[in-house]
């Protein structure tokens, strides 16, 4: 009787293990697939070893996409994490606390709107002839800055990145608001008595006290930046040419429109390695898990 009792907890865990398998089997299957050359039409897979990776590391479009992802990451860290913290600090400031719920909603609203709707909205916004952006630029006399934002190879990726910032800053700001509310008000009071100004309080109290949240936000935005798909896919489809291609849109095109499944699997593996590395490095750097004040 006792022996059987010992088994019970494992039986409870069994569904969890089955679930883990469902998550991890596809990942390993994908790595395995990347060693083959195959398409949905071909009846058999041809083993090619690391050929797909050799091609990949010689593929200029891959580097273009990787560069765009890195741009995405850098800009997202600056605007979403940095900007989000500033927005949160301002909203939690005593002076505007009264209106804070209103602004919180305003900032958070884009987060709940579907990306498809947002992308459609921004295609109008960026339209070179009737779009709001160029109209405004022309109204204030900055005609020379008006551009076909999504149609110009030099600006397309930045135009796409900007949409993501617009959408996600509210989310990160919301995370920071929660973190700031957890900071004990005594710290600020003490600082005030010592004669610290708002900037000093921000850098010496708010920033270090929300370190743990910064870690979460950085992970979120970084992995988000390397797996971003909707925005470039809907806004530009990776174009013009391949100028706004990111890894996941390139993966999608390779797999489903060019039907090179093995090659696409190798791109997926690279994305996996990149995101895995990022999380590992950050876990080391931030020594997460311990909330040390």
What residues make contact with other proteins under the rule CB under 8 A? Answer: 4, 8, 11-12, 14-15, 18-19, 22, 37, 40-43, 46, 123, 126-129, 148-153, 236-243, 252-253, 256-260
- CA dist., res. 171 & res. 111, Å (int): 6
CA–CA distances in Å: residue 49 to residues 24, 60, 62 = 22, 21, 19
Of 110 and 128, CB closest to other proteins = 128
- Of 203 and 256, CB closest to other proteins: 256
Instruction: Please report how close the Cβ of residue 10 comes to other proteins at its closest, in angstroms.
Output: 9
Residues 6 or more apart whose CB falls under 8 angstroms from that of 19 comprise none
Closer residue to other proteins in complex, CB, 236/266: 236
Structure tokens at 252: 């999608």
If we measure between CA atoms, which residue out of 2, 189, 186, 202 comes closest to residue 82? 202
- Asked whether 238 and 232 are in contact (CB, 8 A), the reply is yes
Please, what is the minimum distance in Å from the beta carbon of residue 236 to other proteins?
8
CB of 263 to other proteins, least distance (A): 10
Identify which of residues 129 and 186 has a Cβ nearer to other proteins in the complex. 129
The 10 Å Cβ neighbour count of residue 188 is 15
**Residues linked to residue 46 through DSSP beta bridges, in sequence order:** 37
Query: Whole-number minimum distance, CB 70 to other proteins, in Å?
Result: 21
């Amino acid at each position: 009787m006792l022996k059987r009792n010992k088994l019970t907890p494992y039986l409870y865990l069994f569904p969890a293990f089955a679930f883990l398998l469902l998550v991890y089997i596809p990942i390993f299957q994908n790595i395995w697939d990347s060693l083959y050359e195959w398409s949905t039409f071909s009846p058999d897979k041809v083993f090619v070893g690391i050929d797909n990776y050799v091609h990949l590391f010689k593929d200029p479009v891959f580097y273009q996409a990787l560069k765009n992802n890195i741009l995405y990451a850098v800009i997202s860290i600056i605007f979403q994490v940095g900007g989000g913290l500033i927005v949160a600090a301002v909203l939690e400031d005593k002076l505007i606390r009264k209106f804070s719920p209103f602004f919180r909603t305003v900032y958070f609203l884009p987060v709940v709107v579907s990306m498809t709707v947002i992308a459609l909205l921004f295609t109008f916004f960026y339209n070179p002839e009737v779009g709001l952006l160029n109209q405004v630029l022309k109204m204030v006399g900055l005609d020379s800055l008006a551009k076909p934002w999504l149609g110009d190879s030099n600006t397309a990726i930045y135009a796409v990145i900007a949409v993501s910032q617009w959408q996600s800053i509210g989310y990160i700001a919301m995370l920071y608001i929660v973190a700031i509310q957890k900071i004990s008000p005594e710290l600020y009071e003490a600082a005030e008595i010592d004669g610290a100004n708002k900037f000093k309080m921000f850098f010496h109290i708010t920033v270090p006290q929300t370190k743990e949240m910064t870690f979460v936000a950085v992970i979120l935005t970084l992995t988000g930046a390397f797996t971003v798909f909707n925005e470039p896919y809907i806004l530009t489809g990776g174009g013009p040419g391949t100028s706004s291609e990111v890894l996941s849109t390139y993966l999608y095109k390779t797999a489903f429109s060019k039907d090179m499944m093995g090659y696409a699997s190798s791109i997926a593996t690279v994305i996996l390695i990149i995101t895995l590395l990022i999380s590992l490095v950050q876990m080391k750097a931030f020594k997460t898990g311990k909330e040390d004040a």
